[in-house]
A and B are shown apart, each in its own frame.
Chain A
């Protein structure tokens, strides 16, 4: 039922976040939120969808929690606090969800645990689905989640938004980005792309003054906008230059561009979003991309960024400019270095040298779609840029 699904997505994190704050019990909060959704599935088709679905779900979840706690004879104050929640209905403090996200992404938890806990508790993804995408058994994923929740309780990881956002916000954004890029469906597409975008959207609404949050949302939208064009019939990845741009999701691109136009650029996510936006037009704006890569290399001087910077300069200012930057890159994976040099030399007219480099690049990457793509370059005619 569509109304239940929509209200569920919107309400799940809200309910869980509030019940955790009031009861301090993560499992109870999740169980009660789930019970409320089950009750909605039973009753709404029969009685009609209530005027305030979120409020209805919150009330049912709260009543369920009160029942459970009463049976466990919890002290009066907690029950009174629960009772007061009834009158506040759907207007529970929105920053409960922020508390929840920051706690799920606490750096004292392992990275895997942060990703799993965020998916389970904030996005409401069933444990079995998380386990499948991360290629572990459901039992393993359940243990990982249980262990994380036990540590939160045993080590007393605080349930709050930290005072020093500058130190902790990048960690939260990294978890959301990982959740977007790690974990795949059977068809090789990111399994939690929609959840990641939904969470980034929620975070952007809760923290409207943070350019990097907006930057991450724009970056995810732009990357996701290419999902229908990213692979060929065999499932092999198609490079950006060869994708059918008419299959890109224009609405997502427009939304991302609009987000970026209103925000200052302060960090790597916004810069990467701007780079992705350079690719989003009818053709790539390589000069802008090159200067955004200069910026990215300044804040995040990793070998892969330096390598991509050389590529961008190669397209913007000619192969010689790319090769001269490439000469100063060290530490990037050998296969990628060779592939970039091959492409630059091919476009610079050094066909034989390029062929040899493509061959060596293919031998240096693991057997799979990337190697096949490189070998295609060996066997095809040199392309015009």
Chain B
């Protein structure tokens, strides 16, 4: 039997099979590598998109970023990825939608998007009400016209006919009418609700947190402090040379603060005792339409009172969100004065007043809620509602 060539054929078969196996194995390894690379890129993109969401959340919560948050964040690099955060809204429930999209600069068409809903930070802050009173009845008198929400943890008492409320008002107890006032001669453009939920005042430890913002990135005084804002975005402290507004957004004094001037920027002024508004206190941007993307805002937080002294101007304007943790906002009532205009918000423990029934104080009082406080409350203004106000986190995929 002639077996010549059998080994050669056998060798060829074995070699061919080996070649096929090698090529197949190489292909499998290569595919596995590609898949692993893709998984790694997906993970990288996901983490970068999440980074974009964290950035916009930081801006929501802290309210100190110069660019604000409503315009989103333009394309920028996070790790190896390019991330863009867009913000749309508000929807019918006042929520904004922030969407973070991550991609690679080159070499891959993969993208990943993550989205989250956020309620404007003003709705979580004590700056959301035109009037908030905790430990007293809220008394509104003849001559008052109020724009903005009102909340009382006790009653709302309306003295005299013709008081005008442009927005919703609510009391934990009742809304009561005196001196000829009645439901029919009180003008409500919004709802008026009795039996609303109780909202507690901020705690002393939350006040103490503000001090750390002033000591690290702000201005801090262990004594009294005179604050004079300049319209170019600077501030004079105790008569010194003008300084830029603090990057942390907080100016804090352990004792009294006398304050006046024109604010250009975002800042919160905190006193361990009382803040005296000695002269007009206004925003620079209100007079220059259209309003800038990041509006001016001022927060006044006093452990005790916000006081308008007798020496304050006959006609006075205050643009600020005010909070008196254990006291009130009030005016000296030694003489009859003209018009008081407050554009902002007032939250106090006891009843705030700027006139009396004897005709002393500011006889015309106009309270305009500053709608910018909803999206841009003053930096680190104390929270009224616990929680961060985010919901509906979603992985939108590639």
Chains A and B form a bound pair: no
